[in-house]
Chains A and B, each alone.
Chain A
């Protein structure tokens, strides 16, 4: 029987031919956690009396949610995890200066066909390179860290095709929001989305990472881009080796199929307080904006900074603007390319290595009555701080244009 990407990966990982709906035990290729969930994972391991890992090389830990620590408890959490790392001699540990877990997984560890579990919902990001990547709670991740195994209900595969080339300012965020607006946040429950890109170079890895990242907002079990030459090039450039490619079989069966013409997309936003409350930028244009956040595991990559820099070059922002590249490597690259300088000169606060504002942690918590435009993934009530704040999710072009004008702005005015 021809198999989808989902079925192929889970068949390999479980050692038997799987079908949608089946519950199977799978071997994991990577189990990961960060500081905020990590102390909880370790606590579960300690309580179970099993403070051991199945394979040191397959554990990845990165500090990002509480980086740098905003208070004593956060510092204490990180100290506990550093102790765990030292005692168990975990080699793949990334302290507060190195970036966000999902970006680090994408840059250094995720391969096509891998099964990746991590104690964070945005683990779906690694689907950008064609990995079956799922977020899990602390107990499930603790069990995976100890045993190297977890259970999965094989999802129903859904096919999405991306055709054509995106117009100027249109990026992965608009594709993610298009899917959320058209299908809503509950449709893909129990499904995995497999995305085929007809013109691979027209939809680069940065854009793919944003769409995969927001797969969890669609409540998909996984969102994977079918590996192609873009995937191979990305891994070759970043890691110096050519990955093995895994693709669905010809004639594999999907529950349904949906095509997006990239050339016809326009800049989209998700209005408060729901990720699927999607509108075109023109529907909300002109609303006053107090703060703009460009960054997070959703949109903290080079193309996001390139777009922001293009819009902000030689100008000054009217809203408060916080910009955070998702990793140390990306920060350095953005610095070399002059984007950091451009943003700083435009009046943005630029730092790196933290999830801070995305979850109302630190480095830009929303106050009562404030309106935020954010490139992050969630606009739930109170997500970025006060229950009385409002978050509009958007891509980097809308965010930068809105920062510049101090109100929600259509970036196409800057073409």
Chain B
């Protein structure tokens, strides 16, 4: 699974209240959420991300609340993958569960810049920057990869349940 796009860059500790403020949580519609993604930091984020982007961020990306709308909003806004120094545990799971690849690469803030073009091999964690430099992040394997490839936990559960029924 390869994803690619231009980089939008953020700093450390991007929390879920920034990714999607609480006042929007009464809804789950991806398009509605996407319009408000990252709003407190950059109200223009939705427009910038719409062409399809890779987010690069610092430490504990997605810290804070368990709101799954954070992952939904980013994906619907056009984010194809997130590469961060580290992720908050709940957000990481929510991202995978919604088919949004999350790659850990310590030191990424120093080596990838806003506007760079990156190509990410989700499984191996290999990241190619501007068709030149190659970095090795933590790839996604095992069950999380199966969930990602299915498009998310929901589709994965459906698939598993159909397979189980088929076997009976």
Contact = CB atoms under 8 A, between A and B. Distances in A.
Chain B binds chain A = yes
Interface in A183-209: 185-186, 189-190
Contacts of A134: 89-90
Interface in B9-39: 12-13, 15, 17-18, 21-23, 25-28
B68 A40 contact: yes
Given A23-B142, A221-B89, A380-B18, A48 B157 contact: yes
Contacts of A81: none
B158 A186 contact: no
Interface stretch (B56-64, B111-119, B128-136): B56-64
Given A121-B90, A136-B90, A139-B97, A219 B17 contact: no
A36 B86 CA distance: 27
Contacts of A143: 153, 157
Interface string A208-226: 0000000011010100000
B63 to A, nearest CB: 6
Contact of B17 (A23, A44, A135, A382): A382
Nearest to A381: B40
Nearest to A382: B40
Contacts of B18: 380-382
Given A49-B161, A135-B90, A186-B86, 15 more contacts: A44-B154, A121-B64, A123-B66, A134-B90, A136-B93, A143-B153, A185-B13, A186-B12, A186-B13, A186-B60, A189-B89, A274-B13, A378-B15, A380-B15, A382-B21
B72 to A, nearest CB: 9
Contacts of B154: 44, 47-48, 139
A360 B71 contact: no
B98 interface: yes
B109 interface: no
Nearest to B91: A137
A394 B143 CA distance: 41
Contacts of B23: 360-361
Question: 7 tightest A-B contacts by CB?
Answer: A137-B68, A137-B94, A380-B17, A139-B97, A359-B22, A135-B66, A186-B59
Interface string A40-67: 1001100111100000000000000010
B65 interface: yes
18 contacts: A23-B142, A36-B25, A37-B66, A37-B67, A44-B154, A48-B161, A49-B161, A136-B66, A137-B93, A137-B97, A139-B68, A139-B153, A185-B63, A186-B60, A189-B89, A359-B65, A381-B17, A381-B41
B152 interface: yes
Nearest to B97: A139
Given A136-B93, A137-B97, A120 B66 contact: yes
A221 B69 CA distance: 21
A379 to B, nearest CB: 10
Nearest to B15: A380
B153 to A, nearest CB: 4
Contact of A387 (B40, B60, B152): B40
Given A77-B26, A378-B17, A382-B17, A185 B66 contact: no
B108 interface: no
B65 A121 contact: yes
Contacts of B161: 48-50
A36 B89 contact: no
